[in-house]
Amino acid sequence: CAEIAGAAPELPFFFYDIPGFTGVSLSMPQFLDAVADRIPNLSGIKFTNPDGMMFQQCLHHQDGAFSILWGTDECLLAGLALGATGAVGSTYNFAAPLYHRIMAAFAANDFEKGRFEQKRSVDLVARLASIGYMGAAKAVMGFLGVPVGPARLPQANPDKDQITSLRADLEEMGFFDWVRV
**In whole angstroms, how far apart are CA 38 and each of 9, 17, 153, 164?**
12, 18, 32, 49
- Rounded Cα–Cα distance for residues 80 and 33 (Å): 25
Q: Which one of 46, 99, 133, 138 is the catalytic residue?
A: 46
| 46 part of the active site | yes
| 133 part of the active site | no
Non-local (6+) Cβ contacts of 106 within 8 A are 77, 80, 81, 114
Task: Cite the active site residues.
Answer: 16, 46
